[in-house]
Amino acid sequence: MKHYASVIIGHISQDINIDHEDHAAELLGGAVLYASAAAHALGHKVAAVTKIAPKDRGRLAAFAIPQEDLYVSFGERSTTIRNKYYTADKERRDCVCLSRGTPFTADDLPQGVVGDIYHFAGLIYGDYADDMLSFCAQKGAVAVDVQGCLRHADSATGNMYFEDWAAKKALLPYVTYLKTDAAEAEILTGTGDRAEAARILHSWGAKEILITHNTEVLAFDGKEIYTCPIKARNLSGRTGRGDTTFGSYLCERLSHSVPDALLTATATVSLKMETPGAFAGTRADVEDYIRAFYR
């Protein structure tokens, strides 16, 4: 039996990113890629469970984790997304799903593998069936990036849009760790006050809430609201902000307090945001960054 701090489930995506000056760049992304890279860089043993079309197996080389910790199943389709950003801070964007990965089922979970945390790193609603949350809650703590519950793709045009999660009150009690960004938190709760949104989400059953924003990351454990500022000196690596934060935070929480895990995760994502792609630094780099910018 192989044991991991986190088993991260999600599609790797071919991302076509067009900035506010119409400069285009292609890179491999997706929450499973960014989250696993960050956790691995901090020294945690994580598994990545992903699903692609056989013709796209070359994408697997983008993972930073050891190949023995990568569990792949094959489907008819892989995910490809085009992101058009309208502002320099990359907070406003339109997304089009050019190809949608074949959804995950419980059968895609590898045999002989256990995790302290099962991290659902979905990109689009329907990437995994809702019953996978209750299934994995019997095996370990469940972590959900709510992007995969709110973001939909129009079946005809591929245009991506957000709508509320109909099953939220039924499924949040299965969730130990919930991650949203500020806009997603408002869609779920109806309030733009991030602290109040965290309290509402906790009242609906999620045990611990993480909300990312372009200025800070907020954490709520049902008792205290904690925040930590983002210190990134440029935003060239803005894509993957929430995924990097969540992947770092989850594994750190297994052995650290909320404020300590939050500091490490926020410093990790601040450093990551200065360079495009998944985080490629080390824990020592993050500790140096903390000493330089947070002490």
pLDDT for 36-45, tens place per residue? 999 999 999 9
90 has a pLDDT exceeding 80: no
Q: How far is CA 31 from CA 119, 124, 237, 248, in A?
A: 10, 11, 14, 12
Closest CA to 247 of 2, 32, 66: 32
- What percent of the chain has a predicted confidence (pLDDT) above 70? 100
Q: Which tokens go with 206?
A: 């999620």
This prediction has a pTM of 0.95
**What does residue 94 show for φ and ψ, rounded to 5 degrees?**
-115, 140
Give residue 3's pLDDT: 98
Of the listed ranges 88-102, 179-193, 225-239, the least confidently predicted one is: 88-102
**What's the rounded Cα separation, in Å, for the pair 182 and 46?**
27
The structural domain count of the chain equals 1
pLDDT tens for each residue of 182-210: 999 999 999 999 999 999 999 999 999 99
> Looking at residue 251, what DSSP letter applies?
H
CATH code for the domain of 93 = 3.40.1190.20
Task: Identify the domain containing residue 203 by its residue range.
Answer: 2-293
Q: Which pLDDT belongs to residue 25?
A: 86
Token pair of 123, please? Answer: 């990109």
What confidence tens digit (pLDDT) does each residue in 156-186 have? 999 999 999 999 999 999 999 999 999 999 9
Residue 66 half-sphere exposure toward CB, CA atoms < 13 A: 7
